[in-house]
Structure 1
Amino acid sequence: MLDITKLAGQIQGLSQHLTQEAVAGQKRLELASKYLVDAIGRQEEFVEKQDKWKDRIVFANATPIEPLDTRVEIPVPPKVHTVIATDGSQIAPNHHEIAYCYLLNIGRVVLHYGQNKHPLLDSLPEVFYRPEDLYASRKWGIRTEEWMSYRRTASEAMVLAELACGIVGEQTPLLNQLNPRVPTLAMVDGSLIYWFLEQLPLEAREHILPPILEAWGQMKASRAPLMGYLSASRNVEGVNFLRLLACTHPVPDCASFCPNQNDKVPCKVFDPLRDSTLWATQLQPGQRGPLWRSNARILELYQDQQIYFCYVHVGTEIARIEIPRWVAEDTQLFDESLGLMLAQVQKGYGYPVAIAEAHNQAVVKGGDKARFFSVLERQMIKAGLRNVGTSYKEARKRGSIA
């Protein structure tokens, strides 16, 4: 039980700290805004410098593809369209449960607008219990719980591609001048840049990334646009581009001039300012900023699936929108996708309704977990197993005499 009385003194100190941080944050924001104005007039110069010295720049940064003063009004979406989303949840393996296994549950949502079609709202559960599923990752030094989350990411992408390609495939035979293509958007919650792949050994990575890229390739072939939606984004790739202007050295050669990346590095004048905080001062509701190309090193493994992003004022916040290169290069498809995204945010009162519903379909609640293990227990007893049950520790934790 949490003793709020004992926390009171610490809360007062926390509030004072947050007040000081707010003042310091405002100063960083004003400074970054000035650098942004300077960068608008010298963008080409610093893009060339960034490209020339990219091997010597040690911090994550992005390249602006459009002028930094780009402000685009997002178009109103057509009344007839389809939005698809997936999200995942899991039951983690626990030695104290009746069986050591884990479950992945992928929520699926397909919402048809203006088409008189029933929506799809369900989930696909899968149980993993074989030794190769539970213990194979340990040879790479990866805990089973971590490996489970990585496999869930791949499953979300594959299920999304199956849905998107299926929907587009159903429409193709019916297309004609009187029945044009139905705009379709496939959405996921979070980034399309899987940073966790950097820390994985090559052999482990080969089990996760290729299925994802194959799924994305299928969507590309079907022209079913893919989009990652990031709410409350903590990314700093855009602000880090401004660090090139703040660099006090002749060239941005971090390896030579600033080998120890600490708080005293001259270009860290904005840290820890986020991209979304800066663009909140630049965009009006319904507008997007310039398109950027991410230079994250992990993207070197993405083959031709380079990731682009932009920031959009969706009315309630500044959202980071990520898309593959092929979507960004198709202006009509890109603008259409942004329109569908913004409509989803408005329908969801600040967050895309399709992604929220996919989460609701995927989430495994306490009652679901209890029913899962109850069914498993009955099957184990039916199979003739004895002494089936949770450990004494788990049983004791579930009931208290206090």
Structure 2
Amino acid sequence: MKTLSYSYTEAFAQEMDQNDPLRKFREHFFFPKVNGQEALYFCGNSLGLQPKSVKDYLNKELNNWAEMAVDGHFHGEDAWYHIRKKSKPALAEILGAQEHEVVAMNNLTVNLHLLMVTFYQPTKERYKILIEAGAFPSDQYMLESQVKWHGLDPDTTIIEIKPREGEHTLRTEDIVAEIKRHGKELALVNMAGLQYYSGQLFDMKAITKAAHEVGALAGFDLAHAAGNAPLSLHDWEVDFATWCSYKYLNSGPGNVSGIYIHEKYAERPDLPRFAGWWGHDEAQRFLMEKGFIPMFGADGWQLANSNVLALAAHQASLDIFHKAGIKNLRKKSELLTGYLEFLIREISGESGILEIITPENPSERGCQLSLLIHQGGKAVFDEWYQHGVVGDWRNPNVIRLAPTPLYNSFMDVFRFAKILEQSLNKFA
């Protein structure tokens, strides 16, 4: 990509917006208000905005329920019995997967537990799990409980790899070296795809390759990567992954998760799993007989029938993603986050008040920038909020800002810069 010369001027931001081929997608979303004014919303990494089309998608299913009741499972344009299939094309595009490798179901931590049943089978010789230090608490708690379930000690089983002294992010060579160091004992690498606190996008291809070379498996929590960073899970030969849909996928608070399972496991009925009715061969499902026969691909890990209303809200956003195109979104994301980075560095200068701890290299991050606040602490975050900036505070002293390409503009970033300039003068 040709290097762009950014400028801290309103005219530059307006010109970038005018030339943005995705600018009209902003109109597809509702923006919250702070103190009666439309917010500068940079919190898509925590909860994405509501698509205006969600009500229509939900009303369609509510009408089907009202008019057909139980017959809605088998009749109508999108019969509920097969409703999960509707989200597969968009999910496959977003995740870089085959359609049979993905399915929307459950919630993220539930899916992590279910995937561990299959992909974490410790032996006396090979039982350790590698994860990044400071992983999101749900991942930490999940792994701790899984390890204990197998009668193992989390302190000696879970390997937490930390950045080097004085650094905020992990070097890929250090992750690979740690995988090799524990090679014969390592059962699983189970990291985030994109680290929630630092905003670092891990090299999942290299990590997966290193894990496989020592005989371990590789799975990723993509909560902060799905819909945000470029993914090629199938080509990278990632064994499994899960994500949530309420951050960059804009599907509503706590909405449905999904799983990816590489196609090499698509026809493996021998694999251990917690089975459920909806994962059973759908051609024989209503025979109501004993003997679980898993469906082909990721569908064979389903438990219960689909949450139709949740999937309707999910589909509203996925259809927008499909129209925008994940490659187009990534191109804008690099420009938009690059502009935010430029303005922060331009304004903060040598003040020492804040430090960007997210990697500078666009290929090593998504749209999020994490700012380490050295002076003022949470008062800085509160000051920004009073001026309409919705970001995310994470203890002990980090503010996360995520200019999301589907609905944020260059003028949003410019307006934030003016607020940043005022606050630095106050807290200097």
TM-score relative to the length of structure 1: 0.31
* Structure having the higher Rg: 1
TM-score relative to the length of structure 2: 0.30
